[in-house]
Amino acid sequence: MVNTAPFAPFEWMIAWRYLRARRAEGGVSVMTWISLIGITLAVFALIATLSVRSGFRAEFVDTILGANAHVTVYQLGEVAASGQIDRTISDYEALAAEVGKVPGVTRVAPLVRQQVMANHRQSNAGVEVYGIAAADLKTIPRIAVSDQARGDIDRFDEGVAIGIGVANTLGVNVGDRIKLISPNGVKTAFGTSPRVNAYEVVYIFAAGRYDIDRTRVYLPISEAQSFFNRDGVADELEVMVEEPEQVDLLANQLLQAAGERGQIWTWRDASGSFLNALDIEDRVMFVILSVLVLIAAMNIVSGLIMLVKNKGRDIGILRTMGLTEGSIMRVFFICGSFTGIIGTAMGVVLGCLFALYVDQIFGFVNYLSGGTAWDASIRGIYFLPAKLQLGDVLSAVCLSLGLSFIVTIFPARRAARMNPVEALRYE
């Protein structure tokens, strides 16, 4: 027996000869191509799914943090002199100053928040009105900065700012006037009559979330206090923090600053169930696609078993020439692993290209489907996002190469343990 260094050049030469052999010469090039294509498609599907998952989560969280309060501070209700439950904040300016002292808090904005009906000519829409100061509105990223925004946010004190979905529903543009109708309006001797006020639309925003753009209207806080009978009070405080992902660490300090009646509601409390559902879906999808990669890798086993069977005579000759079982095993291991490496590399390229050009690809698919491939009212966002992350690519590569190498060992060992006498007996 000849002892050589592992993966010597002649072992690579023999393996390469077997891989490119024609069927007439006993090769299994067709099976090699099937294995290669299977690995490529499996890795591509895994990277594409992981990138879309990462993009969807990032876009969803970004729209939450960019258009909503990171923490909402409100107060428990108490019985007023009239016998009704009062949950308003009377000393909201002092409370806002106290909450703003908490380390990590970047902004605190008093809000008046109510649901009303918006009307323009024959069109109506149920909307949620946020009474807010103009300076605070300009600090909300997804509201103040938008590629699709129309109008002048600096004129906010002169009218209202509405979401693009509200504008489309009502059929209005900048400069038009809409009516806000509140059922809890003017109190008279005969009861409460609805209050109706008309406001000029001075700004139309696009936050990127369907449910926000479809229902939200911003009104100057002084006008909202008058319109909703909230003179001198606010309904809640909108709090923004430096690190929204670590908002739970500030919970105790915010509760202390909010006082005895104070309560807080974080963005994680509001969207935690959806984010948990996304995490569970991520794990399930990874497991399912891992099975797909395993099935593709099993094609390598089939190809190698056929190759070992067809090359039995060659194995017998190589063994009689002095090759060890280790050399034979490495030859066939190279055959299988090389297929896995090339397939993985091609899958990574296709998956990365998909993630980088997902907008163009999805636009083409949406065009073929007549614009019905994506329903924003169901998915919450307007497009299919994809975010290519190094960790996702590495996990796909490690999974594919690991499975390819593992499944290759078994047929390679079978070839190495073949008896050369039996292999040459009928030759």
β-pair partners for 73: 237, 264
Please answer whether residues 43 and 30 qualify as being in contact, where contact means their C-beta atoms are separated by less than 8 angstroms.
no
CA 201 to centroid of chain Cα atoms: 33
What's residue 282's pLDDT? 82
What's residue 81's pLDDT? 59
What's residue 237's pLDDT? 93
Burial class (CB in 10 A: 0-12, 13-18, 19+), 211: middle
What's residue 326's pLDDT? 72
Task: Using alpha carbons, select from 150, 207, 217 the residue that is nearest to residue 178.
Answer: 217
What's residue 297's pLDDT? 85
Q: Which helix (H) or strand (E) holds 92?
A: helix 92-100
The per-residue b/e assignment along 131-150, b for 16 or more CB within 10 angstroms, e otherwise, is: bbbbebbeebebbbebeebb
SS3 readout for 241-285: ECCHHHHHHHHHHHHHHHCCCEEEEEHHHHHHHHHHHHHHHHHHH
Joined together, the tokens standing for residue 238 give: 């909108």
β-pair partners for 201: 160
What's residue 241's pLDDT? 92
State the residue for tokens 């405080």.
237
Q: How far apart are CA 392 and CA 9, in angstroms?
A: 34
Could you read off the pLDDT tens digit of each residue along the chain, which spans 427 residues?
455 666 667 777 777 777 766 554 444 567 778 888 889 999 999 999 889 888 888 877 887 788 888 999 988 877 665 556 778 888 889 999 999 999 999 999 999 999 999 999 899 999 999 999 999 999 888 888 877 889 999 999 999 999 999 999 999 999 999 999 988 766 655 556 788 999 999 999 988 888 888 999 999 999 999 898 888 899 999 999 998 888 888 989 999 998 888 899 998 888 878 788 878 888 888 888 888 888 888 888 877 777 777 766 766 677 667 677 777 778 778 888 888 899 999 999 999 998 888 878 777 776 776 656 555 554 556 667 788 889 889 999 999 999 888 888 888 877 777 766 565 555 5
Q: What angle do CA 128, 132, 137 make, to 5 degrees?
A: 100
What's residue 398's pLDDT? 92
What's residue 24's pLDDT? 47
What backbone phi and psi angles, to 5 degrees, belong to 352?
-65, -40
Please answer whether residues 136 and 107 qualify as being in contact, where contact means their C-beta atoms are separated by less than 8 angstroms.
yes
β-pair partners for 113: 130
What's residue 117's pLDDT? 94
Q: What angle do CA 51, 56, 59 make, to 5 degrees?
A: 120
What's residue 185's pLDDT? 65
Q: What type of residue is 84?
A: Q
